[in-house]
Structure 1
Amino acid sequence: MKSKVRDWSLRTRLLLIAATASLATLLAGGAAMYWAAGHEDQRLLDSRLEDLARTVLSFSEHEITEILGDGRTELMHAETAATLGSRYRYQIWTRHGNMLLHSYKASPHEPMMPLRQTGFVTVPIDGDDFRVYAMEGNGGEMVIQVAERLAERDSAIGIVGFYFFSFLLLPFALVFTVTWWLMSRSLRAIDASAAQLSERSPIDLTPLVAENPPVELKPMISSINALFERINKTLSLERGFTSVAAHELRTPLAGLRAQAQIAATAHSPEELAEALASVMKGVDRAAHLLDQLLDLARMESVAHQADGLSQSVDVAVVYESVLRDLGTLAERRGLRLESAFVERRIVAMELGMLLLVRNLLGNAIRYTPAGGQVSISTRREGDSVMLIVDDSGPGIPAESRSRVFERFDRLGAQGSEGVGLGMSIVQSVVVAHHAMIRLLESPLGGLRVLVQFPPRRA
């Protein structure tokens, strides 16, 4: 079963990222502040417990001294439940361990912490945890121990913490709202671009216009506009190609019709034979044009698959195949054909190599004067393989060589030879194979076409 890819929203994902980061930051900061506030509260509560011990001792010390001076040892129970409640307890002992005074619920027999120990300590009393503070009084003759229930402390801190974390929702809501608003404004350019694209007709390739887009979106808009420009240029070339092709086809068809009318009204066998010969020549020209158009279309349709379709092609075998079609024309012109395949194999598409050799040889044979010479050869230079076609024809001026690859441009050549598509097909093969083509002066006096294939493996 194919896994289904769920749709996702960039706006939602960015908002979740911002919300998560904001919430994590607020919680971390709140937790740190809560810990610091709790630590400070504990310090303040300890200080208050210490003050309470001093206060109780100051109120009780004079009376206890008088009792001890009179020699009495009875316990004094001056505190009741209404005085300190269940939160605080205290005991006052002599240094010898005699109870002098204790509060409500404080044990009259056991000290809350060892009498020799002073300062703060946390101990369990009657099943609850208490914070106990002990200090000496009356010159060390007495020890007071004051205890506070930790549950009372924690409940107060918990209430403060509840309100503290509750108020964190306000900045979080503010950050979330501001983030959503800024994000909506930042992504407005994407929505505007999408709206422009959805409302366009299929042939509208005008550039996208986004008002004040973010820096991150500018490369994408520029790439889309560059793509539109390339598509528009390609379509313009295709329209021009279609128009010129239609014109090129209409010309031989009109000539065929005219020659057929002449043949139909011929008054002599000689006139009829001449008209029919012209008809055959026009048919051959139209057929050659159609073949060239089909070859160009075939090559361009598989150009993107050149890397996958490439194999080791024997150039000599391709040359023999091409000679079966062009050999008669070369013999009729009395041309001398030579071949020297030092490097017989080239990694390429078989179709591409066939079209390359056929069109390069075809051009050389058609434009080389009678009795001339055409040669084809290969050689290796480093990791590259060179395919070279030389002829003894008129050649091409250096300033006109760049026009050779334009479709239907015959550089002003007259007559019925060629249709101006051969070198366009050659260029398509060269581009598909990532090769390089150069037009040079030939040692035979005419044109040299050199195609350099890059190092590749089949």
Structure 2
Amino acid sequence: MRSIRRFLLVSLLGAVVLITGLAAFRSYEDASHEVDELFDAELAQMARVLQSLLTVQLKRTQLDSLRDSLSYKPYPGEERPSDPFAEYGEATALGHKYERKLAFAVWNNEGRELLGSGSPDGGFPFVAEVGYGDTDLAGAPWRTFSLYDPELEIWIKVGQRFDVRSELTDEIVLHALLPLLLIIPLLLVVIWWVVGRGLSPLLRVSRQVTSRDQHNLAPLDTEQVPEEVEGVVSAINALLKRLDDALSRERQFTANAAHELRTPLAGIRIHAQNLQRQLGSQGDRGEESGAGATPERRLPRAPDHILEGVDQMTHVVEQLLRLSRLEHEQSLSFQKLDLVPLVQRVVASLAPLALKKQQTFGLDVDEGAVLAIRADETSLEMMCRNLVDNAVRYTPAGGEVRIRLQPLNGAVELGVEDSGPGIPSAERERVFERFYRLGSQGSRGSGIGLAIVRQVASSHQVRVELGESSLAETGLSVRVQFPLNPLKG
């Protein structure tokens, strides 16, 4: 999934780097242009100063002595292999090392050199053209300016190596951009903080949604929600309202239907019991009189089937009513209670059903143990009853059902194991859905028992784990762990 935070950070940081790079390039171009103009003007000025000096000096001074005085003379110690200015910097009391990067030459009309600075890179070639030009001396590029004096009939050319200009340009750009380069890390931190601050309303809404359980359909908090997010929050609240209304209508229908079914089911059961007694009494009279087989005797199990169906429907209705009460319960009454007597009551109430199926049925708990937890007694007993009832119902006759209570790792574990058909691992999450039943199991369950178990477990902030039973290869193990520490709230 694409991250808005990552997109904004990458985009903004990329824009900062790109703009900084463009600014550096533009600054270098501007600085290079300005430096070229400055040094070009300086070359022209040097040539004209040299022209004015030569107008006077050529009349008073011997050309040889003038040439000797203007020639380049190495500084003491420059003959050493190392740079004489390296130890003292670029400028010393003896001069500046850039003097070797400046040169001039004077020619007559025939191209004979009259004067020259004697540059270490060699002399300029004679070219009878005035103005600016570029040339190479000893493999180094030079910028030159030439002029012609018609009175003295001489050509004057002054020059400067290009690396002087480029070095100055680099220094100017570096000093201009260095503060910006130092600010970029701070700017990155500011951008990261601003992006996080701007996305905080979305994170708050996300936390509100993810922190809720499946039963909390209250509207999201709209305080301090910016305009850009307000539409999304309003749409979510409208969806939650419609969903809450739909679920309320479903729960109300379930409760009403269950209540309406209880009375006719009770009446059908009474009539089936009366029919069973009548058929039984008629069968007894037929045997005493020696009469042949009657229709009543041929159908001795019909009332039993009716009663079995009625009991099954009654169980479904009772489960629906329990689930409806749990879903409508706004707040549970949590209090400290001992889990041992509660489970003992459940086991005692379901023992007759286990004995009827000739099952090995029992509770394993240390004698005198007190396993206190904080819970709602009514809903917790409902959960325990459904777990044990499911185990007894789905375990075949002659099987085994074992309930265990034990302290474990700072918690109280309730375990129910059976030797029934079990639940495939791929189906263990779906069996908690309402009315979901496994087609491979022979017992006719309501499909609501484990939905009630999950509802109670969710309200107690505990998890129900399904696993393999140690009693049989195909059995089921159900474990629920309750914290010994009292629940908050």
TM-score by length of 2: 0.48
Return 5+ residue gaps in structure 2 as ranges. 76-94, 283-301, 317-489
Q: Equivalent residues in 2 for 1:94-109 (5 A)? A: 94-105=108-119
- Matched residue SS, 1:120: strand
Moved more, 256-265 or 48-57: 256-265
Cα–Cα, structure 1 residues 127 and 150, in superposed 2: closer, same or farther, change >3 Å?
same
Residues 1:93 and 2:93 aligned together: no
Q: What amino acid is aligned across from residue 26 of structure 1 in structure 2? A: T
Q: What amino acid is aligned across from residue 165 of structure 1 in structure 2? A: L
The counterpart of 2:69, out of the listed 62, 65, 78, is 78
Q: What amino acid is aligned across from residue 6 of structure 2 in structure 1? A: T
Q: Percent identity?
A: 28
Deviation at 1:170, TM superposition (A): 4.0
Cα–Cα, structure 1 residues 56 and 63, in superposed 2: closer, same or farther, change >3 Å?
same
Q: Equivalent residues in 2 for 1:138-217 (5 A)? A: 139=151, 141-217=153-229
Contact 2:47 2:157 survives alignment (8 Å): yes
Task: Report the RMSD for the aligned CA atoms in angstroms.
Answer: 3.7
Q: What amino acid is aligned across from residue 24 of structure 1 in structure 2? A: L
| 1:50 paired residue number | 44
Cα–Cα, structure 1 residues 94 and 158, in superposed 2: closer, same or farther, change >3 Å?
same
Deviation at 1:32, TM superposition (A): 1.3
Contact 1:118 1:134 survives alignment (8 Å): yes
TM-score by length of 1: 0.51
Q: Equivalent residues in 2 for 1:13-412 (5 A)? A: 13-66=7-60, 76-79=67-70, 80-81=72-73, 85-105=99-119, 111-114=124-127, 116-137=128-149, 139=151, 141-260=153-272, 263=275
Contact 1:134 1:144 survives alignment (8 Å): yes
Deviation at 1:149, TM superposition (A): 0.8
Q: What amino acid is aligned across from residue 109 of structure 2 in structure 1? A: R
Return 5+ residue gaps in structure 1 as ranges. 1-6, 270-278, 294-458
Deviation at 1:250, TM superposition (A): 1.3
**Distance in 1, Cα, partners of 2:132 & 2:179:** 34
**Distance in 1, Cα, partners of 2:120 & 2:132:** 17
**Distance in 1, Cα, partners of 2:121 & 2:233:** 83
Q: What amino acid is aligned across from residue 112 of structure 2 in structure 1? A: N
Cα–Cα, structure 1 residues 119 and 129, in superposed 2: closer, same or farther, change >3 Å?
same
Deviation at 1:159, TM superposition (A): 2.3
- Deviation digits for residues 312-335 of structure 1, max 9, x if unmatched? xxxxxxxxxxxxxxxxxxxxxxxx
Cα–Cα, structure 1 residues 140 and 243, in superposed 2: closer, same or farther, change >3 Å?
farther
**Distance in 2, Cα, partners of 1:219 & 1:127:** 71
- Deviation digits for residues 159-214 of structure 1, max 9, x if unmatched? 22233332322453454333222212111112212322333233111112254334
Cα–Cα, structure 1 residues 96 and 197, in superposed 2: closer, same or farther, change >3 Å?
same
Deviation at 1:249, TM superposition (A): 1.9
- Deviation digits for residues 31-80 of structure 1, max 9, x if unmatched? 11221121111111111111122222222331124458xxx788722223
**Distance in 2, Cα, partners of 1:210 & 1:170:** 41
Contact 1:134 1:143 survives alignment (8 Å): yes
Contact 1:77 1:102 survives alignment (8 Å): no
Cα–Cα, structure 1 residues 11 and 31, in superposed 2: closer, same or farther, change >3 Å?
same
Q: What amino acid is aligned across from residue 95 of structure 1 in structure 2? A: N
